[in-house]
Amino acid sequence: MSSFLARALTVLTTTALFKQVYGYPALQPSLLQSPVTPALAHLTPLPPDDVEYTLADEKWPATRSLGIHYGECYYIKDVNSGKTLGSDGGVYSYYKFGSARRTFQVWNTRSFPNPPDAYWNYAVRDGGKFFLWDPQGSPQTNGGSWVATNLGGYTYPGFGGYWYYLQFKGHPTHKRPQGGTAVTLEIAQVEPPSPLPNYRGLKVSGDYIWNEDNEDTIDVIFVSTGCHDDDNDAVDV
């Protein structure tokens, strides 16, 4: 047998064995299929705050709980002074740390999701955004309202045409208070957009919470309480 015929026979034999073992390319699964992205991944609930999990845990996402939950109620304390947030008692009820306290409810949207929704009270993540509902409001609101700011920098229950609702963002702090959850609070955005778009900072001055022209943050403590707490604007404890 000539060397040419021998080489041809070797090639044909090798090709037949390859097809027998691996099949035709059209029958093989693609190795370049795009990954599947889970629907509504941002609504995946976090585990309870006292449950530890790792990157290898397939059930829970690799993000930290902030320690507060949507739909639940809290009163808010200043980390530095220990004073509790209430109002100054005026007609607009400007928010002020001091001798009174108010209950605030955390929501991920201003549309009040229905409790039957499985995700209505899931945990706020590190970096999560939320709104604060003030059930008491002010003499101007005649009922509850969302925490807002005005062009003067005050924060208060929004009403009428005098409101720019604040969407907050939270991060854990390194402080460990004896009661409650310490959170570094910042402004994520203002709704509707303020004529002063750079006013996204927060500061405490004279015990008032101010909105100012920077991106400063404040450290506060969220203390869990009942959503029907009758101690609104009661004497601080």
The pLDDT profile of the chain, 237 residues, written as one tens digit per residue, is 455 555 544 544 444 443 343 332 222 222 222 222 223 233 333 333 333 333 333 344 446 889 999 999 999 999 999 999 999 999 999 999 997 899 999 999 888 665 545 555 689 999 999 999 999 999 999 899 999 998 888 999 998 877 799 999 999 987 777 789 999 999 999 888 777 777 789 999 999 999 988 889 999 999 999 987 545 554 443
Q: What is the pLDDT of residue 11?
A: 43
Q: What is the pLDDT of residue 178?
A: 77
Q: What is the pLDDT of residue 73?
A: 96
pTM over 0.75: no
From the CB of residue 158, how many other CB atoms can be counted at a distance below 10 Å? 23
- 82, with CB counted inside 10 A (0-12, 13-18, 19+), is exposed
Q: What is the pLDDT of residue 64?
A: 83
Q: What is the pLDDT of residue 206?
A: 95
Query: In this structure, are residues 88 and 133 in contact, taking their beta carbons and an 8 Å threshold?
Result: no
Q: 218: which residues sit within 8 A by CB, 6+ positions away?
A: 78, 184, 185, 202, 203, 204, 209
For the chain, percent helix, then strand, then coil, each to nearest 5? Answer: 10, 40, 50
Q: What is the pLDDT of residue 119?
A: 57
Query: Tokens standing for 46?
Result: 């976090």
- Hey, which CATH number is domain 56-235, 1.25.40.80, 2.60.120.620, 1.10.3720.10, 2.80.10.50? 2.80.10.50
